[in-house]
Structure 1
Amino acid sequence: MDNQVYLKILKCFGAKGTRFTTEDLARELGTSKRTVYAYFSSKDEMIEKTIDFVFSQIIQSDTDILEDAGLPIQEKLRLYFQNIPDAYSIGAIIRHMDDFQRYYPRLYEKVNHHLDMIWDGAIELVEEGMNRGELHQVDTVILKLMLNETLKKLLDYEFIAGHQVSFESGTKAMSDIVLYGLIKAESS
């Protein structure tokens, strides 16, 4: 399946949420509804495969970082935090979670499952670094909670608009706080 199809579904989804129609997608693709149904058997399948597409891209790029044996843990962590997902793609999905919960409960659970796992690689790196004595000891349950909740807030349009922060600046600030902390290192 051409990635452009998923990007067009995301565009329709971003504009209308779960209320987009097959006709909307066909118009976006410059094709017929019949052609759309040659790719997908139902609207549910369109949405589910698009969710899978978005999260598989995130998982693959995170895996590439985690499996790079030539990088020290600190560099892997820096890269992992710089590899924050595209705000539009994931935000288009998150913004319509109420509709998912109401009309597509199985897909709602799937998105939540993906979001709950999005920081697992970073947590594994932190635990490995702590075990090696390369990182400070921290409570990884609380760290993961902080990361999950911050990401969800940064994907919430009302929060972003109300606090005049962009997704990109917010994720950079979050990663800087996690990676470099609040207290300046004492000079020797």
Structure 2
Amino acid sequence: MKQKIMLQAQKEIFKTGFRFTMADIARECGISTKTIYEWYASKEELILEMVQQATTEIKEREQSIIRDPKLGTMDKLKALLVLLPEDFHYFDVKRLYELQRYHTKVWSVLNSFIEEQWDGVARIVAEGQAEGLLEKFNTAVFIQMYIGGLHRLMEQAQAKPAGLTLSEALHEMVDILLDGIRKR
């Protein structure tokens, strides 16, 4: 039942954003609101669990990418920089802005993850530099540019929706960042 509730919440977020109600989920699941509250004390708790599952998935997939012997260093770097949970490839960028604005505690958890989860990228960048595939550059500045770019994409998506999915936006941003640092 818990998974069913979470999947329906995810559908609601994709469809209408974070303004769904627990009653909306109950109706779509064919259960009572009371049943939902037996599993989740609040909407915030439900969304937080979704974010925690997403970050766990990202960590697991990051390790898989890093250990994949079939991928070259540049392929690994790009894969890490555009890594999203499997179900989030069609997630609209403006949903991140909504999360930040309306669910600040959950956003704080996600934002901490975004700002701190860079060891794998730093390791692959160092490998790329050692292999002569990447110029020497300040990795910390590169990471801050990425994070700043992501934040700016969120703000712009809310102000002027471009209809970009999070996946599309990350691919565009990463292509620009990598082509700017790749040795010619």
Residue 84 to residue 23, structure 1, CA distance change in 2 (3 Å): closer
Write the distance in 2 (CA, Å) between the matches of 1:184 and 1:141.
Answer: 19
CA contact (8 A) 2:5 2:36 kept: no
Q: Which runs of 5+ in 2 are unaligned?
A: none
Write the distance in 2 (CA, Å) between the matches of 1:82 and 1:16.
Answer: 22
**SS across alignment from 2:91:** helix
Question: Residues 70-89 of structure 1 correspond to what in structure 2 (within 5 A)?
Answer: 70-84=70-84, 86=89, 88=91
Which residue is 2:153 aligned to?
154
Q: Which runs of 5+ in 1 are unaligned?
A: none
**SS across alignment from 1:57:** helix
Q: What is the TM-score when the length of structure 1 is the normalising length?
A: 0.74
Amino acid in the other structure paired with 2:151: K
Deviates most, 137-146 or 69-78: 69-78
RMSD: 3.1
What percentage of residue pairs aligned between the two structures are identical?
Answer: 25
Deviates most, 60-69 or 140-149: 60-69
Amino acid in the other structure paired with 1:53: Q
CA contact (8 A) 1:65 1:79 kept: yes
Matched positions, count: 178
Amino acid in the other structure paired with 1:68: D
Question: Residues 103-122 of structure 1 correspond to what in structure 2 (within 5 A)?
Answer: 105=105, 107-122=106-121
Residue 48 to residue 89, structure 1, CA distance change in 2 (3 Å): farther
Which residue is 1:96 aligned to?
99
Write the distance in 1 (CA, Å) between the matches of 2:170 and 2:11.
Answer: 23
Write the distance in 1 (CA, Å) between the matches of 2:140 and 2:131.
Answer: 19
Q: What is the TM-score when the length of structure 2 is the normalising length?
A: 0.75
Q: Which has the higher contact order (CA 8 A, sep 6+)?
A: 2
